[in-house]
Structure formats: structure tokens, C-alpha cells
Structure 1
Amino acid sequence: MTSQELFEQIRSKRSFLCVGLDTDLKKVPQHLLAGDDPIFEFNKAIIDATAPYCVSYKPNLAFYEAAGTKGWNALVKTVRYLRGHYPEQFIIADAKRGDIGNTSQMYARVFFQEMDFDAVTLSPYMGSDTAEPFYSYAGKWAVLLALTSNASARDFETLKLENGEMLYERVLRTSMDWGTEDNTMYVVGATQAAQLGSVRAIVPDHFLLVPGVGAQGGSLEEVARYGMNKRCGLLVNSSRGIIYASGGRDFAEAAGHAAAQLQSQMSMLLQKAGL
């Protein structure tokens, strides 16, 4: 999927919502736990309820790996279900890989060739070697961590270098040469919205994956104000605020309602931006 094709989905659905599938067995409704594959059944219901309101899904791999083989199998089934029923959705493996050489090649192969994700989140701090294998797959994306929303991001990401720029700014400037606007995206936390302007000054045309709206307290309006570009250029992720909107039998209905509310706000923001 190219950036233009992603923008066309955004414009068609009037949404730049990414639903985070951070499926925790401890939070799955009780009535699903007796089934053979409660993680997949939960995901399937969430997807069916939210697909009209989003353009992307982002499974966080930690939640699937924590469940061992059953969790990994549920992830495989989730991706296949999306491909079979909602092929227009942009699917991100939130894996945060960051290794080099043959290891990085194996990660790229499993996520792109074996599982058919559209994109993978990567840590760029070991340099271009970590991302290069992912760029060898046509139509696939590397999503590089840039300015994250966790409290200790300041430990490294906002350190000032000798020339006055911050470390995350160096990451942006250096990694721009690794790929293109059609295969490179950056993670910028919603709680860092005020700094989105500085991010946009460096990468004006790239897409940004923005987690932290909703449960983590990020403001959708501020993200749009500082981060939107002429092709929207945003995928705003919401996880807990959508998939755990209810813990009862109405969990899917509640998730759909939460996604619809965000989509409505995004539609107004797109209209305000003339998109």
C-alpha cells in the first residue's frame, strides 16, 4: 500500500483511526474464555464492530507472545481474517524490533512474507542495518520510533547533541535517507503533541503513527493541529479506549460506539483541514 492509497482510504472513510488490538486475556469478557480461541474470537468481534470507522489495525505482539503458542496462532488467524474480510485495512505489527544482519532479515521475512503485515514498528537506535531488510519488500513499511509518549523518553530521545538538535531530530533526519514517504512512517506519541510541529518541520510529507489518544490522555485536536499535512499524514491509534470500552457481553457494540465517536471527530478535523 502506498501513502496515496492510504490517504484515499482516509478520505473515503473520513477517518485516520488505527485500532490497537492489545488483547489481554485478563480483560477478555468471561463468556469468551470457555471457547477454544478466546483471543481470536475477541479480536474478530472487535474488528467486525470497528472496521467501518477505522483504516488500520495494530496488534501489539507482546500480548500474543505472552499467551505462548495459542497467542501466536490467534495473531495469525487475526491477520488472515482481516485480509479475507477487510483487505483495505492497513495492518501494523507493533513489534518494536531492532536487530541487525540475519536476525533482522528473519524478522522482516516472518512479518512480511509469512504473516503478510503491511508494516512493522522498529527501533532505529542500532542504525540503518536494523531497517534495511524491511525495505527490500515492495509495498511494505518500516515504522520507526521517533518521539514516544512514555515518561522516560527524555532519558535519550530528547537529549541535546553538540549542534543543538535533539536526538530524536537526528533520528528523523538520518533515517529519511533509508526509505521514502511510501515505505517509512514515524511513531510520535500523542502526549508529545506540542512537539509535532518540530517533527513536521523535518518530515513534512511522511505519515506519523500517533499512539496515546484516549486512555493515555493525548488530545486528538492538538495532534491534528500540529501533525496533519496536505494528505492528512496521520494514523492515530486508540487501544484500551476502544477494545475495553465494556467488559460485558456488549463489548463489541461498545467498541464500535467508541470507534464511531472518534471517527466523527476525525471527520470534522479532516473537513476543517479541507481534506
Structure 2
Amino acid sequence: MTCSTFPDITTTLLSRFLIIFIGLLTAACSSNTGPAPVETLSTKIASTNNLTEISGDSYVVQEGDTLFAIAFYSGNSYRDLAKINGLSAPYAIQVGQKLKLKEAPAIKIVSKNIDVAQIEQKSNDKRLDPPKQQAYGDSREKNHRKNQITKSIPSIKPYNTRWIWPATGQHKVATVGTDGSNRGLDIKGRLGSKILASADGKVVYAGNALKGYGNLVIIKHDENYLSAYAHNDRILVDEQSYVTQGQQIATMGRTGASEVMLHFEIRKQGKSQDPFNYLPTD
């Protein structure tokens, strides 16, 4: 071996050392960044701006939104929103799409064919007939008052104002967002224990499409109120079915959660309420 061989060996060793050193340095730097953040809400704008409520008559779809989340955060049934906006399963929506959150009231136009000759004849008959005295409470007056009364029949019966606790557990903790708004409450209990409907209503959602809620049941109690039951182990009711207060709708679980619990929310027109203001204290 000649002396000229040593510089080549030294250069090769230095190159390999630099490659190994740079690789170790890169790995050390990347490990300090930690894991990527996980979004717990299916609406990106909600996770970014800490919003979980949508108000108004319309909403512009943001990146990451789903129809299920928009319906829940606006206090609607996703089926109703789909119908209002002409959507069908699988309810795909596009970024920038404007969705109507409320159905415009229908304007009813009634047209009648008027016989001018009959009107003139009736007018002549009235001039010939002597005026008749009407007693108070005359049937014609009653009919007139009846015609002034309009009744609005809701799609479901009004909710029962006396709510009950949806589950039993060792701990009942109110959950509050970083903006100070209510997020419902967590009831930590036993796996498989009963989850009950807190009030009468209609099941408008039963599934796991809302990220962060696990197996979720949403009940609509009237045009204003919804209640949500999250992280269930098993769901025992079907969508579009009616439930009564105290009826078992699910079993307690930990789907979408780190421990066994029921996450419970009461929402009024999409706005999350403090459940402790509705549930009995005894």
C-alpha cells in the first residue's frame, strides 16, 4: 500500500461521519416538534376559532365541514337541511357553497273567480231587505272570530320542560370552552350502564359521523331544543323514531373518548346551554 492511499481513506471516513451526524441531528430536531394536533370537531372553522355554534338563516361551507356538523351546530336535523338545500345521500357539500339553514315561509296565493252579476244581485237584495239586529254572540260573529285564529302545528310535540338526568355516574363535570361558553357536561360512569332520553322527542341522528363525539344520539324536542348523548358503547334507537322521557336509548361507553363517560349537551337553536340550569338538583 502506498502513502497516497491514506488521504482517500480519511476522506471516505469523514464523509460517512458527516452523513451519520447530520442524520442524527435531523432526527433529534424532528422529535422535538411533537405529534401533529388532532382536530376533535368535524368543522374546521369550529376547531380553529373555537366556535361550535352556527346562527343565521344561511351558512357558507368551510373546508372540513360536514352536513352533520353544520346541522348539529345550527340546531337542525341533517335530513331537514338536506331537504331544504336539495341534497341527497351521501350529502356531499362543497367549500364556498351557501346552505340555507331555515326554510323560507311559503306564500299561499288563493285566486277565486268572481261573478260580477251575482255580487250586484246580492247588493240589490240587501238594499231591499230591512236591517236585522244581531245579538251579542251571534253565530256569524263567532265564525268571524274563529277565522281570525291561526294555528301552527309543530312537526313534533313540544318538549317536556321537566328534564331528567340521562345517566348516573360518580362524577358530573361541566365542560366549558376556552372562550367561556358552555359545552355541556360529562357524566363518568360504568361501561354498559343505561343512557336515558332526558325528555320526549324524535331521534334525528344516531351514528358516529361527528368526529370527537363517538357513537352519538341527537334528539329533537321541539323547534328550539336538541339534546345530544355522546361516546356511547351501543346505540339502541333508530333515526326518525320517537322516544319518551326515561326511555333507554344507548349504553355508556368510551367511543371517541379517553375514558368511560356520557357527554351530554342541551342546545337551544344551536346554542349550547348549561345543562345544570335544566336538570333537577335533587
TM-score range, shorter chain: under 0.3
TM-score relative to the length of structure 2: 0.22
TM-score relative to the length of structure 1: 0.23
- Larger RCO of the pair (alpha carbons < 8 Å, separation 6+): 1
Larger Rg: 2
Higher share of residues assigned strand: 2
Higher share of residues assigned helix: 1
